[in-house]
Copies of this chain bind each other. A is one copy, B any other.
Amino acid sequence: MAKLRRRDFLGKAAIVTAGAGAVAACGGPASAPEGGPAVVTKPRLNWRLASSFPRGLDTIFGGAEVFAERVESLSEGRFRIRAYPAGELVPGLGVLDAVQQGTVELGHTASYYYTGKNPAVAFDTAMPFGLNTRQQNAWLYHGGGLELMREVFADFNIVNFPAGNTGGQMGGWFRREVSTLDELRGLKMRIPGLGAEVLSRLGVTVQTIPGGEIYPALERGVVDAAEWVGPYDDEKLGFQRVAKNYYYPGWWEPGPTLSVYVNRTAWDGLPAEYQSIVQSAAAEANVDMISRYDAVNPGALKRLVDGGVTLRPFSDEIMTASRDAAFELMNENAAADAGYRKIFESWDEVRRSSFRWFSTAEQAYARFSFGGG
């Protein structure tokens, strides 16, 4: 794991060695307590976390709740975090601002919402035709990625942690079949972020519509297509009732990371043990969220297909043109900004070598065992 900067809490709190036996029955066989139990002073904290997501997205919003529960449990209730859904404290897309300004100590969000502030923050979440879930974790935890992203977020007075992943997303709901670039051109699609930037280069009329308003827009034909997340989340919004073609993959989000943001001033004031707790709780929330998605998506997919939805892969023609446009965009950004370029080069090296490795054992196993593709 990435090394975290820690303050020496020992200098701030009194640790007194009390007489042995004050805590009975602790330890098991062969345990060797040295000097008896420790008496330590720990601050009580009540922190607030602003999530970018509604409570109804129980897997994603649930990631913040898992994080909060783990922090509370690891501190035995002394360090409490309450997670607020989007809109209760601050708007869903106002999380970075709120953490930066100290309105809240913590946020749980997707960094690519904030590319307007710095395009490089997208690498913290997902890039079109980029890293899948495992590759993203490999880059962040052991490929230098987290250190690079920390440098970016330092400008926002934020310390960031990976804390959730949705897995590769679906490509979305299309009212009609779309097989060629010609058919793609002129299509009106609800898609935000980098995926939208790429698709607009291919002639798609892209629109950003909040989650709750996508269904009526798709039903009334205001848009011809809309992407959201994947089977479990999409099913709740009811898209299957108004569009029958469910395309994959969502190449713009092959393994998006959700992030916990900590206000740096608040972070610097934490004792070392609580900093450590934040790190581990975020890591646990990270593996927990993808495991939860992988547990609930299969059943949702089955219900959708049983209900008459047709699964369709994007054609290689559309995939290839999209990939070309995506790397054209990234290369333009890299040429324009040295900070972006530095991150892009680290990320791209990991991407190339990791794709090569995943093309062997993982991909051969998946092709044979899962089929499809």
B138 contacts A362, C-beta separation under 8 Å: no
B31 contacts A362, C-beta separation under 8 Å: no
B168 contacts A365, C-beta separation under 8 Å: yes
Asked if A33 lies at the interface with its beta carbon under 8 angstroms from chain B, I say yes
Residues of B within 8 A of A319 (CB): 368
Q: Whole-angstrom distance between the alpha carbons of A75 and B313 in the complex?
A: 49
Query: Which listed residue (B12, B24, B46, B365) contacts A31, Cβ 8 A?
Result: B46
Interface size class of A (residues with CB under 8 A): 35 or more
B39 contacts A39, C-beta separation under 8 Å: yes
CB distance from A275 to the nearest CB of B (A): 9
In the complex, the chain B residue whose C-beta lies closest to that of A230 is B361
Residues of B within 8 A of A273 (CB): 73-76
In the complex, the chain B residue whose C-beta lies closest to that of A44 is B33
B39 contacts A23, C-beta separation under 8 Å: no
Q: A74-B276, A287-B137, A290-B137 are in contact. Are A46 and B22 (CB under 8 A)?
A: no
Residues of B within 8 A of A170 (CB): 360-361
Query: Which listed residue (B105, B132, B316, B356) contacts A28, Cβ 8 A?
Result: B105
A277 contacts B357, C-beta separation under 8 Å: no
Asked if A211 lies at the interface with its beta carbon under 8 angstroms from chain B, I say no
CB distance from A159 to the nearest CB of B (A): 11
- Interface stretch (choices A198-206, A212-220, A260-268): A260-268
Counted per complex, copies of this chain come to 2
Asked if A116 lies at the interface with its beta carbon under 8 angstroms from chain B, I say no
Q: Whole-angstrom distance between the alpha carbons of A281 and B288 in the complex?
A: 13
Asked if A1 lies at the interface with its beta carbon under 8 angstroms from chain B, I say yes
In the complex, the chain B residue whose C-beta lies closest to that of A99 is B29
Q: Whole-angstrom distance between the alpha carbons of A335 and B330 in the complex?
A: 56
What does the 1/0 interface line of A139-180 toward B look like (CB < 8 Å)?
111110000000000000000000000011111000000000
A361 contacts B23, C-beta separation under 8 Å: no
Asked if A134 lies at the interface with its beta carbon under 8 angstroms from chain B, I say yes
Most central of A251, A263, A372 by chain B CB within 10 Å? A372
CB distance from A324 to the nearest CB of B (A): 13
Asked if A57 lies at the interface with its beta carbon under 8 angstroms from chain B, I say no
Residues of B within 8 A of A249 (CB): 360-362, 364-365, 368
CB distance from A312 to the nearest CB of B (A): 10
Asked if A40 lies at the interface with its beta carbon under 8 angstroms from chain B, I say yes
B44 contacts A35, C-beta separation under 8 Å: yes
Q: Whole-angstrom distance between the alpha carbons of A25 and B46 in the complex?
A: 15
Q: Whole-angstrom distance between the alpha carbons of A371 and B319 in the complex?
A: 13
A294 contacts B137, C-beta separation under 8 Å: yes
Residues of B within 8 A of A231 (CB): 357
Query: Which listed residue (B27, B40, B137) contacts A45, Cβ 8 A?
Result: B27
- Nearest 8 CB-CB pairs, A to B? A28-B266, A359-B372, A29-B102, A138-B294, A298-B353, A142-B295, A26-B43, A367-B373
Q: List 25 A-B contacts (CB under 8 A).
A: A12-B23, A13-B23, A26-B269, A26-B271, A31-B47, A32-B46, A33-B43, A35-B44, A37-B42, A40-B76, A74-B74, A133-B134, A137-B290, A142-B295, A249-B360, A249-B364, A249-B365, A250-B361, A283-B284, A298-B353, A301-B356, A301-B357, A356-B370, A363-B367, A363-B370
Given A23-B41, A27-B47, A171-B361: 8 more A-B contacts, CB < 8 Å = A26-B271, A28-B265, A32-B46, A33-B44, A37-B42, A298-B350, A298-B353, A298-B356
